[in-house]
Structure 1
Amino acid sequence: MAEGVEEAWDVRVKGLLKAELKRRNVTYAQLVDKLADIGVKETEPNIRNKLARGKFTAVFFLQVLSAIGARELHLDNASR
């Protein structure tokens, strides 16, 4: 995959996750606690870095969505 194309996907997935956090008014500090509630240990700086880069695993993506109570995801609203 060309580097520019991969970067576009990074931006899109980062936008999806940030939008879900914003939609639920969840701060990074609150996310740390919500992740801990489901047994996932993360620090606020680590979360901030992952979301800033847009580079994280599908597992982390699903853990965050689960921790914040997201039950559906609208891909049409993601940054492109």
Structure 2
Amino acid sequence: MSHVDTAWTRLASRTARGLLVRKGVSYEQLVDCLAAVSLKESVRAVEGKVQRGSFRCSFFFQLLSAVQADLPDELVLPKRRESWEDVCSRTFLRELEAHGLTYTVLAKRFLKLGLEVSATQLEQQILSGSFPFTLLLQLSAVAPVTMLQRFVDQTDIEKTAQQHVHDG
């Protein structure tokens, strides 16, 4: 899959890089930390994902756990055998419910931001938990995701949404 540089991927990249800087973690150290949470990646692969901003939400949550960031309660991987994809799906669904959003309403709100995705596509991605981190950022543009405020300013999300509309 080829990478497409967008305002959203740049924001995702800045968010991840900012976390690494705040925690004082290099890419080499990050690879070791990720291995400790059972994610085997090369330094080059991790650096590429972070620099491009092209990573799944599950990778961002693993990153938070690996660098021992202060995690919101909902992101702590439960003791039962729940996958990171399950955590992503649960987190996104909880946010939809908290804001009274359906997949159809979300798709319509995204369309106003210049993001074309059908309700069916959203549902499939969210239920699988295999969606990109940018989708969680995009959700926060239409329905602020409180847990993200620890890692990215809401004003940056709103500016990115405006920039995407103008660039798109």
TM range (shorter): 0.7 to 0.9
Deviations 1:15-62 (A, max 9, x none): 011000001110000001000111111110001111121101111111
Rg: which structure is higher? Answer: 2
Aligned with 2:41: secondary structure?
coil
Which fold has the larger relative contact order, with Cα–Cα distance below 8 Å and residues 6 or more apart in sequence?
1
Matched, 1:70 2:35: no
1:38 correspondence with 2:115: no
Counterpart code for 1:8: A
Kept after mapping to 1: 8 A contact 2:27/2:46: yes
Given that residues 19 and 151 in structure 2 are in contact (C-alpha distance below 8 angstroms), is that contact kept between their aligned partners in structure 1? no
CA positional deviation for 1:75? 2.0
**Count of equivalent residues:** 75
Any stretches of 5+ residues in structure 2 without a counterpart? 72-149, 161-168
Q: Distance in 2 between matches of 1:64 and 1:75?
A: 15
Q: CA RMSD in A?
A: 1.9
- Please state how far the C-alpha of 1:74 moved relative to its aligned partner: 3.2
Q: CA deviation at 1:71?
A: 1.9
* Separation in 2, partners of 1:47, 1:26: 13
Q: Give the 3-state SS of the residue equivalent to 1:75 in structure 2.
A: coil
Superposition map of 1:1-80 within 5 A: 7-72=6-71, 73-76=150-153, 80=160
Deviates more, 1:65-74 or 1:54-63: 65-74
| Identity %, equivalent residues | 35
